[in-house]
Amino acid sequence: MLKVFNTLTGKKEEFKPIEEGKVKMYVCGITVYDYCHIGHARAMISFDVITRFLRHIGYDLTFVRNITDVDDKIIKRAEENGETTSELTERMIAAMHEDEVALGNKLPDLEPKATEFMQQIIDMIQVLVDKGFAYQGNSGDVFYRASKFEEYGKLNNRKLEEMLAGARIEVEASKEHPADFVLWKPAKDGEVSWDSPWGKGRPGWHIECSAMSTHCLGNHFDIHGGGPDLKFPHHENEIAQSEAATGEQYVNYWMHCGAVRVNNEKMSKSLGNFFTIREVLEKFNPEVVRYLMVSSQYRSSIDYSDASLKEAKTALERLYTALRGQEVAQSYVATDYTTRFEDAMRDDFNTAVALSVLFELVRELNKARAEGSEQAATLAAELKALADVLGLLSQDPEYFMQNSTISEGISAEEIEGYIAERAQARKDKNFARSDEIRDLLLEQGITLLDTREGTTWTRG
């Protein structure tokens, strides 16, 4: 049985797809005006792992994640850069994909862009206007009439008035109610715009996801996911728009990943603790970042710091060390480790417990290696297969051990040269020089390991 924590009900529930054996999942993507940050990495990796596991246990999954490529922030940044909005968004989309691939994520099956679904967006707004759920204000903006949707607030389990009390609500004189939100806004001179029944303009953010998700997956689908900051108002507004427009339940299971905190503080540009994925990958191997993100269950918050990344590096090195120089069988018969790993993942994708099973498997693999058992190769194959569900152990063990941190210091070629010199010194019984080379490398963060097969090294 697969259990999923449903934000809509506030509890874990048995997962039952609408259509047996098939899952339709939509995840809110990025507004592409800047490089992705580590908070984005958390959401990307969380739903990549969920995708991998659902497919691992046999579901035919359709994974859709949108791209917001028209937005006030995009227009402002393009103006600041002296480029068109399309030039900016195309550049940022390419960068986003580069970051994703580096982190080991598999790209979604469908990746709709808001600018490509303008007619569907306009059509949905028109339905809402026709049904009395939307109106055009004096400003020319088209607003959603939040108070007309009786279940508004059900995702956050709060009434409309309660949510208004603690939220930053944009107040406009042309609104009927402070909670009403924009579906369509008139364009200013020179801004990108589209023709509509309400004049030239562009959509509000919330309506984009409603139109794209229902077009790609149908009016009613299984899972909708996103970051913790999207529960209100974005996802609450999506429900109101979609269900008012279609007359059907929008989504069965709402899933939200945890936040990323930096040194126990909320990540913020104003606090100077804001890091892009690219900045982090200049210091650490991408798989170390990924390990940190899966080391706790996806709904938990994660504390990001150099110290936490170093802990992740050390833990991941333990897994890779078990495979270093180890033959890996082409196939294996699943053992109790596979059962326990899958049980952990079936419990709301509990990657923390799943990882603990992998470390137990590593202990048995190391024991089998020490005993010269043929079982070591099949245990190694099982370890790699289960780790792949988490997107881990995808690199050559030797490469990872030498590149778990990114250094501007001594190069791999120089290290190999020192190792060759040290080998000759030992052959000549010049142990003083041999020790000198080891100490020299150690000062630069290079640890040597002498084995029967020769000398290997690890950076960091």
82-102 mean pLDDT: 97
Extents of the domains making up the chain: 19-260, 306-395, 412-459
Which pLDDT does position 249 carry in this prediction? 98
Q: Count CB atoms within 10 A of the CB of residue 432.
A: 8
For 120-177, how does the pLDDT look when each residue is reduced to its tens digit (9 = 90+)?
A: 999 999 999 999 999 999 999 999 999 999 999 999 998 887 766 655 555 567 899 9
For 71-87, how does the pLDDT look when each residue is reduced to its tens digit (9 = 90+)?
A: 999 999 999 999 999 99
For 171-220, how does the pLDDT look when each residue is reduced to its tens digit (9 = 90+)?
A: 567 899 999 999 999 999 989 999 999 999 999 999 999 999 999 999 99
Whole-number average pLDDT of the chain: 93
Would 19-260 and 306-395 be classified into the same CATH topology?
no
Cα angle, residue 202 at apex, residues 196 and 208 outer, rounded to 5°: 105
Residue 234 annotated as lining a ligand binding site: yes
pLDDT-based confidence at 7, cuts 50/70/90? very high
HEC string for the chain: CCEEEECCCCEEEECCCCECCEEEEEECCCECCCCCEHHHHHHHHHHHHHHHHHHHCCCEEEEEECEECCCHHHHHHHHHHCCCHHHHHHHHHHHHHHHHHHCCCCCCCECCEHHHCHHHHHHHHHHHHHCCCEEECCCCCEEECHHHCCCCCCCCCCCHHHHHHHCCCCCCCCCCCCCCEEEEEECCCCCCCECCCCCCEEECHHHHHHHHHHHHHCCCEEEEEECHHHHHHHHHHHHHHHHHHHCCCCEEEEEECCCEEECCEECCCCCCCCCEHHHHHCCECHHHHHHHHHCCCCCCCEEECHHHHHHHHHHHHHHHHHHCCCCCCCCCCCCHHHHHHHHHHHECCCHHHHHHHHHHHHHHHHHHHHCCCCHHHHHHHHHHHHHHHCCCCCCCHHHHHHHCECCCCCCHHHHHHHHHHHHHHHHCCCHHHHHHHHHHHHHCCEEEEEECCEEEEEEC
Residue 37 annotated as lining a ligand binding site: no
For 341-357, how does the pLDDT look when each residue is reduced to its tens digit (9 = 90+)?
A: 999 999 999 999 999 99
| pLDDT for 29 beyond 60 | yes
| pLDDT for 327 beyond 90 | yes
For the domain made up of 19-260, give the CATH fold.
Answer: Rossmann fold (3.40.50)
For 414-450, how does the pLDDT look when each residue is reduced to its tens digit (9 = 90+)?
A: 788 888 889 888 888 898 888 888 888 888 778 887 8
Which pLDDT does position 281 carry in this prediction? 94
Which pLDDT does position 426 carry in this prediction? 86
Residue 216 annotated as lining a ligand binding site: no
Given 3.30.420.40, 3.30.110.40, 3.40.190.10, 1.20.120.640, which CATH number is that of 306-395? 1.20.120.640
25-31 mean pLDDT: 98
